[in-house]
Structure 1
Amino acid sequence: MTDQPTWTFTADVATFAAAAEGWLLRDPVRNTAALTVLRSLRSGQFSEDPLMGWFTEGGSVEGAVIHTAPYPLLLAAIPLDAIPSLVSELIALGRSLPGVSGPLEQAEAFARAWWEPDRGRRSERLYRLGTPAPPTVPGAARTAVAADVPRAVRWIREFEVEAGVKVGADPTPVVAARINRNEFVWWEDGGRPVALAGVSAPIAGMSRVGPVYTPPEFRGRGYGSAVTYAVTRKALDEGAAEVLLFADLANSRSNSIYQALGYEPVTDYASIGFH
């Protein structure tokens, strides 16, 4: 008798990882966001009622989702035919979602099935590094340290406002944790920070760049390109076989910058808001 397709949910990170991590690792490029969040969950970075789920069909795991409030529901590259039952299960659980984020087809299918209307979206493109092309920009990279937390938090808040990222959570714990893991890098010119970028330590040979932010007063001088290349180089030096990043499709300049650095398009993603 064939096992019926089933969604299983848990708030326990170890239980979720034991069931779903192997499936996520089959495609670490397209599942980069889920793998990064899973690592953060293991470190205790998220504390607000996490919910994790995996989809089983024919006796094997074929999909996974993660929700860490106040962020949107994160869809991995799950089968489209698993989405109606996912929506039904989440409604039955009474789960409140500010939105959904994931590969474009999956995110749009979920939004069509969800009971709340689409109230806006952010469209992104996933890039992977091809042949690196370093820019020539004045200044030098410096890894952020604990004393940099206040400035980094301020810049991340500015980035979220400018990018239209509706989170509402205090970014200080995340920023401090990432700085503690040496995941934030400044570009400095004349000893002054002029751009900031993050990069995750490699997971299954994959590192992801982001966020990347240059304050308005320092733009137009190549600092964003410089700091992006600096964290790209850092990831490669630390053993990453794949370096990835997401770019806002509404920002043609950032997309052209990343392509000039050697990044190549993989596929499109969307973050769709319900509140």
Structure 2
Amino acid sequence: MSWTFTSRLEEFPEAAAAWLRADPTRNTVPLTVLSRLRHGLWADDPTLGWLTDGGDVRGAVIHTPPYPVLLGDIPLGSVAALAETLRGRPISGVSGFKEQAEAFAAAVGLAESSRMVQRLYRLGDLRPPSSTGTSRPADEADAGWVASWMRDFMAEAEPENAGRDFLPEMRHRIAQGEMVLWVDAGRPVAMAAFSRPISGMSRIGPVYTPPGSRGRGYGSAVTHAATRAAQRAGADLLLLFTDLANPTSNSIYQNLGYRPVSDYASIAFAPPA
């Protein structure tokens, strides 16, 4: 087996994209990032890699600095060679299913600075929550404060990435119809996003309720609304991630009908001395 890399999106082979699409549950994150790249987002110096064995594609990875290396559901036996090939490049971290991500971290020779373990959930039977208010899609007039909420969300979830400009991405997602707001008493109180369906798969996230509006069921309500919006857009496979350190969110999503699939790790590396 051997790894091949390119920084040119047009050189990423269709066979590698097809390998990702063949299991949209376990390859959900690389698939959605690849879609963003094709729409001109996160395009600064990307690295796209694919694993071949006897001419057949067996795996794929995507790296869009400053974000971590994203592992598709690659064979565990290929991880050490991948890490060795990427050694010396500016890598801030790795994200993937827990076993592969931990194997990469052990092989790449960089000191771990932090990690977040998440759980991937898949929707079973969607159940409605109980909350006051109603949903609506975000529009262009909402873009500024939606981007501000996104910065607040990242400051809580991924503080190392909270400083970037989220406005272009939020404008794109609003234009795509991916941003859903929950409104109560005439004002937005929570937001959730969904990815446009790829091979029937859509992933919910981020979900954010500002601190002053928490504890009233808005997070559950807007997640339900975003799930329904994704279904109306054509998704029949609905996924989301939760932080295992947050029992509240894990309980909320299971109450809506989401069921665990597997654990996922995001491991950050300390900058080289």
TM-score, normalised on structure 1? 0.96
Match of 1:141 among 135, 138, 155: 135
Q: Which amino acid aligns with 2:178?
A: E
| Cα shift at 1:19 | 3.5
- Aligned equivalent of 2:268: 273
Aligned: 1:105 with 2:99: yes
- Aligned equivalent of 1:184: 179
| Cα shift at 1:240 | 0.7
| Cα shift at 1:17 | 4.3
Matched residue SS, 1:166:
helix
Match of 1:55 among 34, 48, 51: 51
| Cα shift at 1:115 | 1.5
Q: Which amino acid aligns with 1:177?
A: H
- Aligned equivalent of 2:167: 172
Aligned residues: 269
C-alpha RMSD over aligned residues = 1.0
Aligned: 1:77 with 2:73: yes
| Cα shift at 1:47 | 2.4
Match of 2:214 among 196, 219, 229: 219
- Aligned equivalent of 1:30: 26
Matched residue SS, 2:267:
strand
Aligned ranges 1:204-215 → 2 under 5 Å: 204-215=199-210
Give the stretch that moved more between structures: 160-169 or 26-35: 160-169
Match of 2:119 among 125, 129, 138: 125
Mapped to 1, the partners of 2:160 and 2:73 lie a distance apart of 23
Q: Which amino acid aligns with 1:6?
A: S
Q: Which amino acid aligns with 2:5?
A: F
Matched residue SS, 2:155:
helix
Aligned: 1:242 with 2:237: yes
- Aligned equivalent of 1:161: 155
Gaps (5+ residues) in structure 1?
none
Identity %: 55
Aligned: 1:18 with 2:14: yes
Match of 1:195 among 190, 195, 203: 190
Q: Which amino acid aligns with 1:145?
A: D
TM-score, normalised on structure 2? 0.96
**Structure 1 stretches of at least 4 aligned residues deviating more than 4 Å after TM superposition:** none
Q: Which amino acid aligns with 2:252?
A: I
Matched residue SS, 1:127:
strand
- Aligned equivalent of 2:256: 261
| Cα shift at 1:14 | 2.3
Mapped to 1, the partners of 2:154 and 2:89 lie a distance apart of 25
Matched residue SS, 2:252:
helix
Give the stretch that moved more between structures: 224-233 or 134-143: 134-143
Gaps (5+ residues) in structure 2?
none
Mapped to 1, the partners of 2:13 and 2:180 lie a distance apart of 30
Mapped to 2, the partners of 1:106 and 1:177 lie a distance apart of 32
Matched residue SS, 1:254:
helix
Q: Which amino acid aligns with 1:29?
A: T
Matched residue SS, 1:186:
strand
Answer whether contact 1:202 1:240 (CA < 8 A) is retained.
yes
Matched residue SS, 1:119:
strand
Mapped to 2, the partners of 1:163 and 1:201 lie a distance apart of 23
Q: Which amino acid aligns with 2:150?
A: I
Answer whether contact 1:19 1:54 (CA < 8 A) is retained.
no
| Cα shift at 1:165 | 4.2
